[in-house]
Amino acid sequence: MDYIWDAIKRLFIAIVNLVKKIFRDVINFGRDVVGWFKKLALDPRRHVPFITNTKTLKEMIHDAPVVDCGIFAAVYDEQSDSITNGVLIEADELDSETLSQLRKGDDGITVLR
């Protein structure tokens, strides 16, 4: 997972203001996460969709935005070794499915394949 963290760090250093931001009362995993990834038409041979908790993101990357509750969803492109899409979804709370998915993560990153 270090390679994904390195790509995330490069993303925030290079284009921190270009990350799309969404606010929800409650993050709904199916609507807000799965729905967002489906719109991207990813190539499973090269794109790795993943999520991380915003608190973990801030711990790992000091330039990351401060968010009390939310997730960072993005796509790691294995071919270019970069993050190709990213969205910061802020919320008042996370639904049970989002919490369940985040618990499955390794080193704070949950790969969604």
Q: Which range of residues forms the domain containing residue 30?
A: 2-111
Domain count, the chain: 1
> Is it the case that residue 53 has pLDDT exceeding 60?
yes
pTM of the model: 0.81
Short-list 64, 67, 90, 46, CA closest to 10: 64
pLDDT of residue 92: 93
Under the banding of pLDDT at 50, 70 and 90, the label for residue 1 is low
pLDDT of residue 11: 66
Least confident of 18-22, 29-33, 34-38, 60-64: 18-22
